[in-house]
Structure 1
Amino acid sequence: MNDPMSQLHDIHLPPAVSWWPPAPGWWLLLLLTIVAGILLGWYLRQRSRRLDLYRSAMQELCRIRRQFAEQADFSQLAAELSRLLRRVAISLGPEEDVAGLTGEAWLCWLDSAMEGREFTQGPGRCLVEAAYRPTGQMEDADALLSLVEAWLEKVARETSHV
């Protein structure tokens, strides 16, 4: 008689689970980490670019202040400040939104960064009017310089409107 136990074979265990390929959750985690790294890098680059632009704009503003203190030419001050504001605005936003603006439209665009009407109805108005005034006629240069400095600081902190 045949022994039924002799027909049994040893138990074969399956191979050990390999670490490769990872489970789908690990692939998703890797993808999310890569996307987060790219977004963080982009944010830090934009922030650094804005800070560099702000620092150079403030240096230029200091140069304009010194030049005005030496020459006391208000029309030149207004022209230089307008050029500075336009360079900063073009650097921060889409060029086509800013480059063609002149006169009242330019002042309204500058006001859109501030929560007021300092450019269209305040000391900033002379940015477009100073070229047409006699050289002897002066405005409040300190108020204009302070307004431009406040605009630069505001835009450096929040560039969402540009």
Structure 2
Amino acid sequence: MDAATLALRDIHQPPAPSWWPPAPGWWLLAAVVLVVIAVLWFWRARRQRKRRAIAALFDQTLAAADTPAAQVAAMSELLRRAARRRDAQADRLHGDAWLAFLDHDDKPGSPAFAQGAGRLLLDGGFRREVDAAQVEALRVLARARFLQWMGAT
């Protein structure tokens, strides 16, 4: 055969690689993503369990108190325990200093403990008769502060 009769042909490219199975790097990336998702899910579930346990502790402690005065005393005890997480000396405060400490995290101008329903904490646990409506208003405030300080919000 002579060179003039041979037709030149283009170079044939190999076929493109298929998308399946993926390269080992993609498998590694998928495994890392799954591990991150699992860790985030576990962390979130653990936080939710902690929040529910803290809220249940508050609710069960108040449910165990049989009188409104005992409920006020229980709220005071729970708030003092939670306050130790903020300041180690906070449970030793009393009177208006204690109420001011409870209001410390609120917006300025809204002292709910010092001027509102929270004043019941000062002597409500020692009274013979305590209005149930006042105790309920205090319960809402105390529960919110307790959950905030215990890290459940």
TM-score of the alignment, normalized to the shorter chain, above 0.5: yes
* Equivalence for 2:13: none
Deviation at 1:38, TM superposition (A): 0.9
* Equivalence for 1:149: 140
Q: Which amino acid aligns with 2:33?
A: L
Q: Which amino acid aligns with 1:85?
A: L
**Alpha-carbon distance in 2 for matches of 1:58, 1:30:** 42
SS of the residue corresponding to residue 118 of structure 1 reads: coil
Please provide the CA RMSD for this pair.
4.0
2:86 maps to which of 88, 97, 120: 97
**Alpha-carbon distance in 2 for matches of 1:106, 1:148:** 17
Preserved contact between residue 112 and residue 118 of structure 2 (Cα < 8 Å)? yes
Deviation at 1:161, TM superposition (A): 8.7
Deviation at 1:57, TM superposition (A): 1.3
**Alpha-carbon distance in 1 for matches of 2:111, 2:135:** 13
Between 1 and 2, higher relative CO (CA 8 Å, sep ≥ 6) is seen in 2
Point out where structure 1 has 5 or more consecutive residues left out of the alignment: 1-16, 69-73
Point out where structure 2 has 5 or more consecutive residues left out of the alignment: 1-17
Preserved contact between residue 103 and residue 111 of structure 2 (Cα < 8 Å)? yes
What count of residue pairs does the alignment treat as equivalent? 130
Normalized against structure 1, the TM-score is what? Answer: 0.56
* Equivalence for 1:110: 102
Q: Which amino acid aligns with 2:123?
A: A
**Alpha-carbon distance in 2 for matches of 1:111, 1:161:** 18
Q: Which runs of 4+ in 1 moved over 4 A?
A: 112-115, 138-141, 153-162
Cα distance change of structure 1 residues 119 and 150 upon mapping to structure 2, 3 Å threshold: closer
Q: As a proportion of its length, which structure holds more helix?
A: 1
**Alpha-carbon distance in 2 for matches of 1:156, 1:96:** 12
* CA shift digits 1:98-152 (9 cap, x unpaired): 442123454345335666422111121232x328x8x57x664531333223542
* CA shift digits 1:66-88 (9 cap, x unpaired): 233xxxxx4x554332002234x
Normalized against structure 2, the TM-score is what? Answer: 0.58
Are positions 1:67 and 2:59 aligned together? no
**Alpha-carbon distance in 2 for matches of 1:154, 1:97:** 12
Q: Give me the identity figure in percent.
A: 25
